[in-house]
Structure 1
């Protein structure tokens, strides 16, 4: 992974449209943003009546939305480490019907605005229910309540983070100002990774951080990915992957480091299979590895991507793995026959930086670095898709645990927001009647 820090790597809305990412005071239409944030929300009713989903006032601009989309597609430059040939990639990709609607737009609120500290890392959003979303905003971990439409600070990492859990032999330490690079929330545990190799663990029902430490003193120490999972015996574990090419596994109750595995390249993403036995290991390599969680021994090498990978997700059945790459594709693998990918899904313009399956296994969400989120119908063989078209850097996507809601975090100084979509249900009786 590139050792690069930039809060604003790309500009989704350029100066010609007068929506540049500068200080908000430079904007030609301030919308009284600070004094009346809630007025900048876009509701489902307003959207159906013609308001832009993100609240962008295209009627005041010199370009239409369609014209700007066309320009954006032509001018956007996807970051690549290996500059692969895309002609061969395109030949493998599925032909997809993108005109479906599986999730209806519900709300866009600009009260919360995710903050990206590394342009390749986009796991900064997590939904624990259809009404509760956690995200990284500046130097704070925030909770957004869809019921009350309010935000609440959960942990401020701009201040020194002092662990509250004290046990003999526990390798914990206080941390100074932390720039959060990755996060995950499961049950009552929130885990965040830092730009300087930090790891912070917090119980949601207790104030402060329960455990925090610096995982490595390596000069390029970014905690690229964190994961929470249950091992085969049912014990909860925390996994951290770093730019020092190491994976570390912690007990989620006592926070003791249980194991550590090394690889030949920086590890950018890990995801543990639903049964807790296997882990997908992706990073600064064209190959993706399947390793044993207990020993770290590599069981399979998935070959097909042509650049570095940054995201992965397991289908709930534990047989299908999705991997996202800077070559602008997501590959699907059946781990029972890993010699070649089952299918290849193509993004519109950027790297695939986030992947999530719904808990019922019916949909796969695929997040590009900017502008596009794709929701694929699994039962159709991934050939039916909903394409969510927006403008801005995407900080993360998350389905609610019941699969009823989809949340998308947008990082932008003026139009940064949280978008909420609700699952669309069809009534077979009414369909047959009409």
Structure 2
């Protein structure tokens, strides 16, 4: 019997929390629209923007990565590529880009170092992510040939290759560097423990009957969220393996309701954001999971495809990339300070 089956965690019943759509976490009058475009290369892969530093957002346009300054409202840097980006990440002073035909590139943000364009396999690279294990910065790449390749930066020494039963759509390493998640086309999510260079499968969660897409850890590495093609976002406690919350997209059309990207803020802001396939982003209170704010970024009679979503590094804003603009949503930090059990937001 496959290890992936033996490790399977029993399904958990839908949780008690009932989410009301009465959240109000942003300033309605402080929505800023930046006239910068994002090119979506794949109908499903929407992990296409990242914010490496204050006021800077990295986003793809055709065969380039453009670094846009939201304060000066100009492109301050362009990275030319020999392929069209399918996924990008900008953390730990590096930018990592994945493309079709197994192609990928990693480069330092100050341009002092760059890997060669390298190939990890014949399939499309579905996602790329940067992580830090102790002092080792690593890049993790998911390929459509059912593999996950992990390299150390800057040596580009291959640490391991994980083979899974189906195509992997996304990975996420916990902030404490102890765990990694991998979402699959079968609707399963695999949780690995990390011990140095060893990635050991610990649990398999059956999350959906449709493909699982995005995943993310909260800042304290105590819970994680998984998005899926059926429009669900499921949040789990890592210790008890119990489901904390189950959300469903407000969109009902089958081809439009997929939940794509997901991300957590740092505490004590305690918010989670996720994007639907078109037009709408959701902000959820992770202290109680009883309030959600749904923000529509297109007229009711139109669809606007979402290319990606991310918090700014200072967690004052949420950036949403659409095909024809970048929308900046300002978070109402003062209101969050007044919520029950809140503590002073010292990071601001």
TM-score with structure 2 setting the length: 0.84
Structure 1 counterpart of 2:344? none
Structure 2 counterpart of 1:106? 31
More strand by share: 2
Structure 2 counterpart of 1:40? none
Structure 1 counterpart of 2:284? 376
Runs of at least 5 residues in structure 1 that lack an aligned partner in the other structure: 1-90, 158-176
- Residue in structure 2 matching 1:342, options 235, 240, 244: 244
TM-score with structure 1 setting the length: 0.68
CA distance in 1, matches of 2:337, 2:100: 53
More helix by share: 1
Compute the displacement of 1:127 (Å): 1.2
Structure 2 counterpart of 1:115? 39
Structure 2 counterpart of 1:95? 18
Structure 2 counterpart of 1:14? none
Structure 2 counterpart of 1:314? 217
Structure 1 counterpart of 2:67? 143
The within-5 A match list for 1:327-406 is 327-338=230-241, 340-349=242-251, 350-360=257-267, 362-379=270-287, 381-391=288-298, 392-406=304-318
Structure 1 counterpart of 2:93? 188
CA distance in 1, matches of 2:17, 2:276: 17
Provide the aligned C-alpha RMSD in A. Answer: 2.2
CA distance in 1, matches of 2:227, 2:266: 19
CA distance in 2, matches of 1:93, 1:304: 17
Contact 2:51-2:58 within 8 A present in 1 as well:
yes
Compute the displacement of 1:208 (Å): 8.3
Compute the displacement of 1:197 (Å): 1.1
1:425–1:140 Cα change, 3 Å: same
| Residues 212-245 of structure 1, C-alpha deviations (whole Å, 9 max, x = no match) | 20111x2xx11111111111x2211111111011
Structure 1 counterpart of 2:172? 271
Larger radius of gyration: 1
The question of 1:227 aligning with 2:129 is answered: yes
Runs of at least 5 residues in structure 2 that lack an aligned partner in the other structure: 1-13, 252-256, 299-303, 340-348
Structure 2 counterpart of 1:409? 321
The question of 1:198 aligning with 2:117 is answered: no
Contact 1:290-1:298 within 8 A present in 2 as well:
yes
Structure 2 counterpart of 1:33? none
Compute the displacement of 1:292 (Å): 2.5
Contact 1:93-1:345 within 8 A present in 2 as well:
no
Helix, strand or coil at the partner of 1:426: helix
- Residue in structure 2 matching 1:215, options 106, 113, 120: 120
Contact 2:92-2:130 within 8 A present in 1 as well:
no
Contact 1:359-1:401 within 8 A present in 2 as well:
no
State the aligned residue count. 312
| Residues 107-165 of structure 1, C-alpha deviations (whole Å, 9 max, x = no match) | 1022x1111111111111011234111111122100110121101342112xxxxxxxx
